[in-house]
Structure 1
Amino acid sequence: MIELGRRPLTVADVVAVARDGGAVTLAPEALARVRDSRAVVDRAVREERVIYGVTTGFGELKDRRIPAADVRRLQLNLLRSHAAGVGPAAPRDVVRAMLLLRAASLAHGRSGVRPEVIEALLALLERDVTPVVPLQGSVGASGDLAPLAHLAAVLTGEGEAELGGRRMPAALALRGAGLQPLALEAKEGLALINGTQFSTALAVLALADARRVWEAAVAAAALSTEVLLGTFQPAREDVQRLRPYPGALAAARRLRAYAADSALVESHADCGRVQDAYSLRCAPQVLGASWDAFAHVEAQLTIELDAVNDNPLVFAERDEVVSAGLFHAQPVALAADYLKIAVAEVASLAERRIDRLVDHRVSGLPPVLAADPGLESGYMLAQYTAAALVSENKSLAHPASVDSIPTGAGVEDHVSMAPIAGRHARRVVENAARVVALELLCACRALEFRRPLTAGRGSELLYGAVRRVSPAPEGDRPLSEPCEAVARWVLSRAPEALAEEVLAS
């Protein structure tokens, strides 16, 4: 059980709630903070203070005063007008992560909402009501306004949601889940949409998947090096200690563990080859750099998971409401951009090893890994598909955060484009998973041609895991479904579990 307000959220917490239905509640100490901040807002409304988004309009309409009698209507109008997202709906796990993260931010007690608002968000998680949130329409500046407006509208019984796998009007979904629509009070609509939760949800889930892809890619690199009769001397610990980046050390340790007791490596101990291609020899450096990038991204996102990103902010201890810019998603945008660049490089290196595996001139294996080359084309198209995915990743890896188009009549004159960075990061990770899957298929096929020699203990475990998902082929067959099946394995918990087993052996 995750208690919001008791400790900071972690990436693992977000994954547990978004994908595994982890339970969440509001800690008693957080409840007290939320009530104190709400009292400040109620008092400000009674005293008719001028507070942005409470007794004024929004954005370029910030100087329009709103009578006390209209403050509730103002909040509902805000959700209706800002639900301007377009395009396909966000995946279920992203929306569930959004619900968790918005509730966590509000639980800090700096937003002035009633506890009922947070409880309503958590009720959607508990009853598995998933708001329909379009993927496009946010620039990641004054919060992820459009996506969060679609999410928040469902609390009021408006918009659309999914319940039991069916898409329906939000009012029906709430009724089917035994929930009542929420009537918003002053500031609550604004507090629900001023935040980075859409961008952050995309980035956090992409990071979790990227770590799985990385583990699978290191394992694939080890097996490919073995079947290509490469050397593991560059992965020696004493070598890597001379340039001790944490990621390089982690990658090299895994490469050594997978190849331990490899008959393939022993078979060419005195072959006289001087050095291998960079895609083999420099694997600790390239893959390690991505590991280090992930560590930086996680450090940034961990701050965001425990952050307040609302506006205006309520300081109950001073009876004060302050306008600021904590909603600006630039830290998330830069982190997501860095993430997708790091993942794109993992896939780029894997594609180069695929090319060597299917090229008999450098591999010493049958051409295109075919049992009957000429009559069969074997794994020829694996490299074509990998090349297409890697090329697409190069376009997606262009930093979204370097762009800014002013909004809000020039008041919002710099925006982060974090949602675009987050969406692209997710796509880059999915593409990379497929490239690594193709390398695994090729490397496993190559190992079958190297029999009766055996690979390292860890690599044989890897081979068994892949072949349980995709059996060895008999002649030519379409690669699409095997690739997708192994890519699902790559994006599962299995590569991390395998790495733990191999490192512990």
Structure 2
Amino acid sequence: MTDASSDAAPETVVVDGESLTPEDVEAVARRGAKVEIDEEARAAVVASRERVAEIVESGQAVYGLNTGFGQLVDTRIEESEIEQLQTNLLRSHASGAGRALDTEEVRSLLLTRLNALVKGYSGVREIVVDHLATMLNERIHPVVRSRGSLGASGDLAPLAHLALVLIGEGEATVSGEHGERERLSGAEALATAELEPLTLAPKEGLALINGTQLTTGVAALLVVDAERLAEAADAAGALTTEVTMGTTANCDPAIHRVRPHGGQAAVAEHIQELTANSEIVESHANCDRVQDAYSVRCLPQVHGAVRDAIEHLREAVEIELNSATDNPLVFDAENADNRATGTDDAVVISGGNFHGEPLALRLDYLVSALTELAAISERRVDRMVNPNIQEDHLPPFLAEDSGLNSGFMIPQYTAASLINEIRATGRPSMDNTPVSGGQEDHVSMSATSAFSAKSVLENARTVVAVELLTGSQASEFVDDSLAHGRGTSVVYELVREVSPPVTEDRSLDADIEAVAELVATGLLEERLDDVM
């Protein structure tokens, strides 16, 4: 939960294991919000650690405490070697590959791991969660390889790269004297915040690397970004409806009451709000056209289905953000089956909460949904620029002097290219490669699904930016005595702040990027919220 005592005060996210939201993840990951550990959650961490100590003292063989890992589960580890076992676990599992995670990905990973640990079922010491919180607040960012996770037993390799820094190994970036980022060894990075490397106690190594936190952190940011994109796509579609002399009769509430999908009704209402008081729409209310093309007429149905898919992902992410996902988990004996391994007061239960399937499937569903959002947006772009189908008031490719100028011919090419790339994206959750000698014989590939969805979202955002830019250019050829709607006027004016009208050919790559940035930062959504 996010708290800001005043407009001038930095945001603070209180981490309690129960109430973290995608918006909190964005605040920490992107805006550098500070974190604090809730006192009740801190007490739960202490109690959980006491249960682990009790079980270790009992001498029972317990997975993650005094046995090998994965296929080596039946190998018993001597008491004198238990601490070394935890260190070896981090070293051996930090075997990822690929690019390093970017800043927002690392911070989301740190935050979500911290929030899972403070639920009080992982058995780590208080000093472990304090180190993680300090690393976030002091901007000590582990260098984490992005590839290597199978989404079961969670995001092992990336989390191991993160956890290495806690024991003074691996690498991390820190803020230099002049604001630049310096890359240091784990021990050197900790020293910048006066932290000592940890010597891990029984179970702590496994608790740090077992879980879905890479998938969850990336997915949380995707939820925020996808919701912004859906809003922007509605705005782009509303502007296109106006400049192509389309009708908003397709958004009449009566239509949507008899097919009551939530997203569909919400989009129809949104389009009506965006085009409210539009003199452009009113100017042709009684024209001879019977129906608009599907890309305009079916906008509520398509955009609405996309919104429903995003909401489906949000539901899973909000659950996962506040879940205990490592293995094994430590419980008070009163709240667990008495057949579990443990003592009269504490038990350890081995299960599969680290499996990323609940997120993987929904992330792949998001990919399908965003593919459709981009596809319908590109079709609307074509309707504005294509001389074979565009309205009479619009010149070929929206060029002032078409032939001499190509106008917006190539932005539509760019959108088409991005659509092709999006459609080529696979659905990683459908794949499975057994590992660990067959012990881990079904995995989710959830982290791969998250990265795929992130790539698709970025491409879809650019397609929608092309539509926003194209719609604004088409506006230049609409009777200037006619006013845009309440929302579409804001959209047009904001686009014009970063991209002037095209009166003769010029490079438009920077314009496309600038408009995409309006969507990515939430500025478009913010401006619309001010008037809607």
- Considering the TM-score relative to the shorter chain, is it more than 0.5? yes
Quick check: 247-256 or 171-180, which moved more? 171-180
Q: How many residues are treated as equivalent by the alignment?
A: 502
Instruction: Compute the displacement of 1:32 (Å).
Output: 1.7
5 Å matches for 1:291-370? 291-317=307-333, 318-364=345-391, 365-370=394-399
1: CA distance between counterparts of 2:162 and 2:17? 25
Quick check: 183-192 or 354-363, which moved more? 354-363
Q: Calculate percent identity across the aligned residue pairs.
A: 48
Quick check: 44-53 or 371-380, which moved more? 44-53
2: CA distance between counterparts of 1:116 and 1:177? 14
Q: Please name the residue that 1:73 is paired with.
A: 84
**Tell me, what secondary structure is at the counterpart of 1:222?**
helix
5 Å matches for 1:184-223? 184-223=200-239
Partner AA of 1:281 in structure 2: R
1:155 to 2:154 alignment: no
5 Å matches for 1:32-51? 32-51=43-62
**Tell me, what secondary structure is at the counterpart of 2:146?**
strand
Q: Please name the residue that 2:128 is paired with.
A: 117
2: CA distance between counterparts of 1:385 and 1:454? 30
Render the CA deviation track for 1:30-68: whole Å, top value 9, x for unaligned: 122211211122222233220112111111111111111
Q: 2:107 aligns with which of 96, 103, 109?
A: 96
1:434 to 2:462 alignment: yes
5 Å matches for 1:246-325? 246-317=262-333, 318-325=345-352
Partner AA of 2:274 in structure 1: Y
- Are the aligned partners of 1:80 and 1:153 in contact in 2 as well (CA < 8 Å)? yes
Q: Please name the residue that 2:146 is paired with.
A: 135
Partner AA of 1:55 in structure 2: N
Partner AA of 2:375 in structure 1: S
Partner AA of 1:35 in structure 2: V
**Tell me, what secondary structure is at the counterpart of 1:109?**
coil
- Are the aligned partners of 2:519 and 2:525 in contact in 1 as well (CA < 8 Å)? no
Render the CA deviation track for 1:61-92: whole Å, top value 9, x for unaligned: 11111111111111111111000111111121
1: CA distance between counterparts of 2:524 and 2:317? 23
Instruction: Compute the displacement of 1:6 (Å).
Output: 6.7
2: CA distance between counterparts of 1:427 and 1:191? 30
2: CA distance between counterparts of 1:289 and 1:276? 20
Question: CA separation of 1:115/1:422 partners in 2, compared to 1, >3 Å: closer, same or farther?
Answer: same
2: CA distance between counterparts of 1:16 and 1:412? 35
Instruction: Compute the displacement of 1:178 (Å).
Output: 3.0
2: CA distance between counterparts of 1:7 and 1:150? 26
Q: 1:243 aligns with which of 235, 259, 263?
A: 259
5 Å matches for 1:3-18? 3-5=14-16, 7-18=18-29
5 Å matches for 1:470-489? 470-489=499-518
Partner AA of 2:380 in structure 1: R
Q: Please name the residue that 2:4 is paired with.
A: none
Q: Give the RMSD, CA atoms, in angstroms.
A: 1.3
Render the CA deviation track for 1:284-304: whole Å, top value 9, x for unaligned: 000001111111111111110
Q: 1:401 aligns with which of 422, 426, 429?
A: 429
- Are the aligned partners of 2:17 and 2:117 in contact in 1 as well (CA < 8 Å)? no
2: CA distance between counterparts of 1:174 and 1:473? 52
Render the CA deviation track for 1:87-142: whole Å, top value 9, x for unaligned: 11112111111111111111111111101111111111000111111111111011
2: CA distance between counterparts of 1:257 and 1:40? 56
**Tell me, what secondary structure is at the counterpart of 2:389?**
helix
Q: 2:186 aligns with which of 161, 170, 183?
A: 170
1: CA distance between counterparts of 2:444 and 2:171? 28
Q: Please name the residue that 2:95 is paired with.
A: 84
2: CA distance between counterparts of 1:293 and 1:170? 40
1:446 to 2:459 alignment: no
**Tell me, what secondary structure is at the counterpart of 1:361?**
coil
- Are the aligned partners of 1:249 and 1:284 in contact in 2 as well (CA < 8 Å)? yes
1:419 to 2:447 alignment: yes
Say which structure is richer in helix. 1
- Are the aligned partners of 2:462 and 2:513 in contact in 1 as well (CA < 8 Å)? yes
2: CA distance between counterparts of 1:479 and 1:417? 38
- Are the aligned partners of 1:247 and 1:289 in contact in 2 as well (CA < 8 Å)? yes
Question: CA separation of 1:388/1:300 partners in 2, compared to 1, >3 Å: closer, same or farther?
Answer: same
2: CA distance between counterparts of 1:247 and 1:399? 24
1: CA distance between counterparts of 2:160 and 2:443? 18
- Are the aligned partners of 1:301 and 1:335 in contact in 2 as well (CA < 8 Å)? no
Task: Please list every run of 5 or more consecutive structure 1 residues that lacks an aligned counterpart in the other structure.
Answer: none
- Are the aligned partners of 1:215 and 1:499 in contact in 2 as well (CA < 8 Å)? no
1: CA distance between counterparts of 2:245 and 2:124? 63
Instruction: Compute the displacement of 1:202 (Å).
Output: 1.2
- Are the aligned partners of 1:257 and 1:502 in contact in 2 as well (CA < 8 Å)? no
2: CA distance between counterparts of 1:179 and 1:344? 46
Q: TM-score, normalised by structure 2?
A: 0.92
Partner AA of 1:350 in structure 2: S
- Are the aligned partners of 2:280 and 2:483 in contact in 1 as well (CA < 8 Å)? yes
Partner AA of 1:423 in structure 2: F
Task: Please list every run of 5 or more consecutive structure 2 residues that lacks an aligned counterpart in the other structure.
Answer: 1-11, 176-180, 334-344
1: CA distance between counterparts of 2:223 and 2:422? 16
- Are the aligned partners of 1:258 and 1:502 in contact in 2 as well (CA < 8 Å)? no
Q: TM-score, normalised by structure 1?
A: 0.97
Partner AA of 2:348 in structure 1: V
2: CA distance between counterparts of 1:190 and 1:160? 20
